């Protein structure tokens, strides 16, 4: 009798354990499904957000901030005869004044576009890249430079200030009429 009781209680406990194990397996599976859903939700959300941001980006054009090409540099009286280098770094120009003209040289070597240096002791512009040399008015006389340094547009505004525009350049190409006498390539002083 007591053997039967013991066997019955062992069976009941085994059934309980099996039920418990099935229950816990079910819970594990639910957890896995829930975390899988969360992952899918996150991925979908990220994908949609990225697409939405790209869509918004379409309405905002890219802006490239380039240095201004038109700017005042002062009064003609601020520039004595010779080469003035004060705007070389900030505007990439030199201001040259002769006895009767003031003009602005664009500081870009006509060989491959390096910025030459003004050598006061040698009275010349010297390009550090391949050795082109230019006289104080920017005319090439040594090295591979094919033509004189270009000159930028200049004018005097109603306040008497010199306005430079480096988007308009004057050239002196070999075999072509010079542009260095064109209107806007110099100021009479
Ligand atoms: S870039 Fe000036 S000499 Fe070549």
Q: Cβ atoms within 10 A of the Cβ of 111, count?
A: 18
Is 144 a pocket residue for ligand 1 (Cβ < 6 Å)? yes
Cα(90) to centroid of ligand 1, in Å?
Answer: 21
- Token readout for 36 is 């899988």
Domain termination residue (choose one: 40, 63, 86): 63
pLDDT, mean of residues 64-77 = 88
My answer on whether 154 and 124 are in the same domain is yes
pLDDT tier for residue 94 given thresholds of 50, 70 and 90: very high
My answer on whether 83 and 57 are in the same domain is no
Contact 11, 3 (CB under 8 A): no
Closest residue to atom 4 of ligand 1, CA basis:
130
Residue 186: exposure state from Cβ atoms within 10 A (0-12, 13-18, ≥19): buried
Is the pLDDT assigned to residue 19 strictly greater than 50?
Answer: yes
Q: What is the pLDDT of residues 144-156, one digit of tens each?
A: 999 999 999 999 9
Domain termination residue (choose one: 63, 89, 108): 63
pLDDT in the model for residue 1: 47
My answer on whether 13 and 86 are in the same domain is no
pLDDT in the model for residue 60: 65
Q: What are the start-end ranges of the H helices in the chain?
A: 2-57, 88-91
What is the tally of structural domains in the chain?
A: 2
H/E run at residue 96: strand 93-97
Whole-number Å distance between alpha carbons of 144 and 12: 103
Is 130 a pocket residue for ligand 1 (Cβ < 6 Å)? yes
My answer on whether 87 and 147 are in the same domain is yes
My answer on whether 86 and 156 are in the same domain is yes
pLDDT tier for residue 3 given thresholds of 50, 70 and 90: low
pLDDT in the model for residue 62: 64
Contact 70, 164 (CB under 8 A): yes
User: Dihedral, CA atoms, 117, 122, 128, 131, nearest 10 degrees?
Assistant: 140
Is 133 a pocket residue for ligand 1 (Cβ < 6 Å)? no
My answer on whether 10 and 46 are in the same domain is yes
Query: Which atom of ligand 1 sits closest to the CA of residue 131?
Result: 3
* Weakest-pLDDT range from 40-54, 88-102, 135-149, 163-177: 40-54
Q: In this structure, what CATH number is given to the domain that contains residue 135?
A: 2.102.10.10
H/E run at residue 158: none
Contact 20, 27 (CB under 8 A): no
Contact 165, 153 (CB under 8 A): yes
Compute the residue count for the chain.
Answer: 189
Q: What is the pLDDT of residues 108-167, one digit of tens each?
A: 999 999 999 999 999 999 999 999 999 999 999 999 999 999 999 999 999 999 999 999
Q: Please give the mean pLDDT across all residues of the chain.
A: 88
Whole-number Å distance between alpha carbons of 77 and 80: 7
My answer on whether 74 and 53 are in the same domain is no
pLDDT, mean of residues 36-42 = 82
pLDDT, mean of residues 30-55 = 80
Q: Of residues 75 and 36, which shows the higher confidence score? A: 75
Q: Which domain holds residue 15?
A: 1-63
Whole-number Å distance between alpha carbons of 111 and 146: 6
pLDDT in the model for residue 115: 98
């Amino acid at each position: 009798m007591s053997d039967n009781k013991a066997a019955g209680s062992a069976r009941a406990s085994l059934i309980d354990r099996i039920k418990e194990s099935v229950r816990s397996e079910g819970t594990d599976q639910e957890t896995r499904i829930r975390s899988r859903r969360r992952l899918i939700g996150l991925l979908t959300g990220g994908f949609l957000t990225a697409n939405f941001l790209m869509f918004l980006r379409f309405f905002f054009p890219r802006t490239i901030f380039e240095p201004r090409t038109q700017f005042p540099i002062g009064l003609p009286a601020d520039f004595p005869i010779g080469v003035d280098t004060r705007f070389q770094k900030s505007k990439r120009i030199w201001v040259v004044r002769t006895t009767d003209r003031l003009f602005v040289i664009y500081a870009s070597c006509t060989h491959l576009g390096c910025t030459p240096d003004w050598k006061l002791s040698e009275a010349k512009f010297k390009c550090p890249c391949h050795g082109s040399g230019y006289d104080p008015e920017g005319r090439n006389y040594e090295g591979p430079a094919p033509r004189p340094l270009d000159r930028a547009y200049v004018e005097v505004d109603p306040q008497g200030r010199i306005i430079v525009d480096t988007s308009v350049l004057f050239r002196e190409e070999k075999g072509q009429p010079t542009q260095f006498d064109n209107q806007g390539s110099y100021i009479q002083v």
